[in-house]
Amino acid sequence: MNPNYRGLEYCCNCDEPTGRAGRGEDSIYCDEHDLGPFCSDCYETHVEVVHENNSPDYGMANWG
C-alpha cells in the first residue's frame, strides 16, 4: 500500500491526489508499462513522451 494513503489515491509521478476512485473504478493506469495510478496531467505527458515518441527507453528516462 502507498505510504501516503489516507483514503486518497496519489499519482505515481507527481504524488498529488488523482481525484479518482481506484483501479477497479476510474483510475488511470498504463497497462503496457504497468504504471499508475496517474493524475490526468501526468498521464497525458506519459502518453506524449513514451507512446507517441515510440521509444519507451527515451520516455521512461526523460519524463516526469
Ranges of each domain in the chain:
1-64
pLDDT at 3: 59
pLDDT at 58: 47
pLDDT in tens, 17-63: 998 877 777 899 998 888 999 999 999 999 988 877 765 554 444 55
In terms of pTM, does the model score above 0.85? Answer: no
SS3 string of the chain? CCCCCCCCCECCCCCCECCCCCCCCCCEEECCCCEEEECHHHHHHHHHHHHCCCCHHHHHHHCC
CB contact at 8 A, 17 and 40 = no
Could you give the CA distance from residue 9 to residue 15 in angstroms, rounded to a whole number? 9
pLDDT at 59: 44
